[in-house]
């Protein structure tokens, strides 16, 4: 692989498949987004609403491999996808679904049911709905969702300002099964190509997608300042809204070593480069706390890209994975020139957006010890139920013995400069009978953990009060006989 920043001629071209046609993308920069590139090609169905993953007007489909050798068409926010990550990949836009006169079933249903007024959001809705239309689990008769197996939460990352959501939902629930002749249904039978190793060298910086962890560590050794890129749902926002630029950007989400999911006798290891939708599917109910947590994280569009490595990479005090991972007693597996080391999550965070990760290291995986605590819960307090940033987030994992607390771990986000454990409340409960009186005392202590901020999202007092409430809620949810007494 060429060494980034070594003297070389400009390399700004990559190839991808767009709406079934092989295309050369010319003049690509490390910060060129798929949204901007598509619009430059005249494919203006892809719209910019917010450029930060919030509105879904830019949604498109990307073909990704399924575990059984087919393709899954997943919706992503084109405003957050950097072109360098797409070499060799397949993208479908609204123009690739249907045309006036020969509308795709999703476009047809939206049109006839009045699901579009100004139409600005419509192509984005069409793409999120199309991903759901072709979702293998829906077609296999997913019993968990709507009348036709349609998961309406697949649209939670799409905003509409003028139509109102009812006709859009009607259109979604009217969708049938793709006919045999449907080109995208046929397309789903073949594995899409794996992401290609990529190297772009441009006047604005270099973009590298190494093929292996060894190569990635070599690049990092030469360029410890390189910006690691996984799903881009944080970095893409920085690029678009804050005009952040990196001399060297290195994509790590495709590294096979970061894409494992291994269940051992004493731990489960989750690859840092797996996106959250993939993790959710592949884990099933193996970690019930994560299963409960996934739907609270952003939207389907974001979860189709966002990774655990990226969430821990930002080290944000309001990231939603640390509270659950702290409750699960997880460790971060860092790998670098000196080999691999495991860091317990509480020791990983050292300050506001600071971690023990050394230059030249990256997060390879997250390791969760087994056996898991049998009673768990996740509580996210935010202004909206879905697709919102936490004011506080709390993960709990409890083990009882003879009615008393043998062990409890409480992970907290949004109450300090780093995610923390609720150690005072944990200590107060350990060894005590798991009853309302003791839980109320511990909840008071939980309300004093950390140093919550007063900001536009929530006041300090509100955050403290919410901490107390989450422990009480956990108690009443996990203690059915108490619910009856209260009822």
Nearer residue to ligand FES within complex by CB, 77 or 311? 77
Residue 151 CB, nearest approach to ligand FES (Å): 19
Nearer to ligand FES, 47 or 357 (CB): 47
Q: Using the rule CB under 6 A, is 62 a contact of ligand FAD?
A: no
- The residue (of 268 and 272) whose beta carbon lies closer to ligand FAD is 272
363 binds ligand FAD (CB under 6 A): yes
- 449's contact among ligand FAD, ligand FES, none, with CB below 5 to 8 A by partner kind, is none
Q: Which of 72, 104, 223, 227 binds ligand FAD (CB under 6 A)?
A: 227
CB 62 within 8 A of CB 38: no
CB of 161 to ligand FES, least distance (A): 4
Q: How far is the CB of 138 from ligand FAD (least distance, A)?
A: 24
Residues at the contact surface with ligand FES, assessed by CB under 6 A: 48-51, 53-58, 77, 79, 116-122, 160-163
# residues near ligand FAD by CB under 6 A: 30
Q: For residue 389, count CB atoms less than 10 angstroms from its CB and return exposed for 0-12, middle for 13-18, buried for 19 or more.
A: middle
Residues 6+ apart with CB under 8 A from 427: none
- Contact yes or no for 301/75 (Cβ under 8 A): yes
| One residue of 51, 306, 428, 466 binding ligand FAD per CB under 6 A | 306
> Cβ 254 to ligand FAD, closest distance in Å?
11
Q: Which residues contact 248 (CB under 8 A, 6 or more apart)?
A: 4, 5, 205, 206, 207, 208, 219, 223, 225, 226, 227
Query: Given the complex with ligand FES, which of 161 and 440 has the nearer CB atom?
Result: 161
Entry field: residues in the chain: 487
Does residue 233 interact with ligand FAD by CB under 6 A? yes
Per CB under 6 A, does 320 bind ligand FAD? yes
**CA-to-CA distance for 152 and 157, rounded, in angstroms?**
11
From candidates 38, 126, 130, 298, binder to ligand FAD by CB under 6 A: 298
Q: Which stretch binds ligand FAD (CB under 6 A): 124-132, 217-225, 228-236, 433-441?
A: 228-236
Using the minimum distance from each CB to ligand FAD, give the nearer residue, 155 or 298.
298
Residue 48: name its binding partner from ligand FAD, ligand FES, none (Cβ under 5 to 8 Å by kind): ligand FES
| Least distance in angstroms from the C-beta of 235 to ligand FAD | 4
Q: Which is nearer to ligand FAD, 280 or 399 (CB)?
A: 280
Among ligand FAD, ligand FES, none, residue 58 binds (CB under 5-8 Å by kind): ligand FES
Q: Is residue 231 near ligand FAD by the rule CB under 6 A?
A: yes
Select from ligand FAD, ligand FES, none the partner in contact with residue 235, using the beta carbon and a kind-dependent cut-off of 5 to 8 Å: ligand FAD
Q: How far is the CB of 156 from ligand FAD (least distance, A)?
A: 10
Compute CA distances 296 → 174, 217, 291, 310, 390, whole Å.
26, 33, 10, 17, 10
How many Å apart are CA 259 and CA 272, to the nearest integer?
7
Binding partner selected for residue 91 from ligand FAD, ligand FES, none, CB under the kind-specific 5 to 8 Å limit: none
CB of 168 to ligand FES, least distance (A): 8
Q: Could you tell me whether strands 248-251 and 90-92 are parallel, antiparallel, or unpaired per DSSP bridges?
A: unpaired
Please report whether residue 335 would count as binding ligand FAD according to CB under 6 A. no
- Residues 261-280 binding ligand FAD (CB under 6 A) are 272
* Residue 235 in the binding site for ligand FAD (CB under 6 A): yes
Cβ 104 to ligand FAD shortest distance, Å:
26
173 binds, among ligand FES, ligand FAD, none (CB under 5 to 8 A by kind): none
Interacting residues with ligand FAD (CB under 6 A) = 52-54, 227-235, 237, 252, 272, 297-298, 302, 305-307, 309-311, 313-314, 319-320, 362-363
């Amino acid at each position: 692989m060429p060494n980034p920043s070594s003297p070389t001629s400009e390399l700004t071209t990559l190839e991808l498949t767009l709406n079934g046609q092989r295309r050369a993308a010319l003049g690509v920069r490390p910060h060129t987004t798929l949204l901007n590139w598509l619009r430059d090609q005249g494919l203006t169905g892809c719209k910019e609403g917010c450029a930060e993953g919030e509105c879904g007007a830019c949604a498109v489909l990307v073909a990704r491999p399924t575990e059984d050798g087919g393709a899954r068409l997943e919706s992503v926010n084109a405003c957050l996808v950097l072109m360098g990550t797409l070499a060799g990949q397949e993208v479908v836009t609204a123009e690739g679904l249907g045309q006036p006169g020969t509308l795709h079933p999703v476009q047809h249903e939206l049109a006839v049911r009045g699901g579009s007024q100004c139409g600005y959001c419509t192509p984005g809705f069409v793409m999120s709905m199309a991903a759901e239309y072709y979702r293998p689990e829906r077609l296999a008769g997913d019993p968990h969702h709507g009348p036709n197996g349609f998961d309406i939460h697949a649209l939670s990352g799409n905003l509409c300002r003028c139509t109102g959501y009812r006709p859009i939902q009607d259109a979604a629930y009217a969708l049938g099964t793709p006919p045999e002749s449907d080109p995208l249904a046929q397309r789903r039978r073949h594995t899409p190509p794996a992401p290609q190793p990529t190297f772009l060298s441009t006047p604005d910086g270099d973009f590298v997608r190494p093929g292996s962890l060894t190569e990635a560590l070599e690049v990092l050794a030469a360029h410890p300042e390189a910006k690691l890129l996984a799903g881009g749902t944080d970095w893409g926002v920085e690029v678009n809204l804050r005009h952040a630029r990196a001399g060297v950007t290195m994509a790590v989400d495709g590294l096979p070593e970061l894409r494992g999911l291994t269940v051992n006798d004493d731990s489960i290891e989750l690859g840092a480069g797996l996106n959250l939708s993939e993790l959710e599917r592949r884990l099933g109910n193996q970690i019930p706390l994560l299963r409960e947590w996934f739907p609270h994280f952003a939207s389907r569009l974001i979860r189709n890209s966002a990774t655990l490595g990226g969430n821990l990479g930002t080290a944000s005090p309001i990231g939603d994975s640390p509270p659950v991972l702290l409750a699960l007693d997880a460790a971060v597996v860092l790998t670098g020139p000196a080999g691999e080391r495991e860091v317990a999550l509480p020791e990983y965070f050292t300050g506001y957006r600071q971690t023990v990760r050394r230059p030249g290291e990256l997060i390879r995986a997250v390791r969760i010890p087994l056996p898991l605590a049998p009673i768990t819960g996740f509580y996210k307090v935010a202004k909206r139920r879905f697709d919102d940033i936490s004011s506080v987030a709390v993960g709990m994992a409890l083990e009882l013995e003879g009615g008393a607390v043998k062990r409890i771990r409480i992970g907290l986000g949004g109450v300090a400069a780093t995610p923390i454990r609720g150690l005072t409340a944990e200590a107060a409960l350990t060894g005590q009978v798991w009853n309302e009186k003791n839980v109320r005392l511990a909840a008071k202590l939980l309300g004093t953990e950390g140093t919550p901020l007063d900001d536009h999202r929530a006041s300090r007092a509100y955050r403290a009060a919410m901490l107390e409430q989450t422990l009480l809620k956990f108690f009443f949810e996990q203690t059915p006989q108490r619910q009856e007494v209260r009822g």
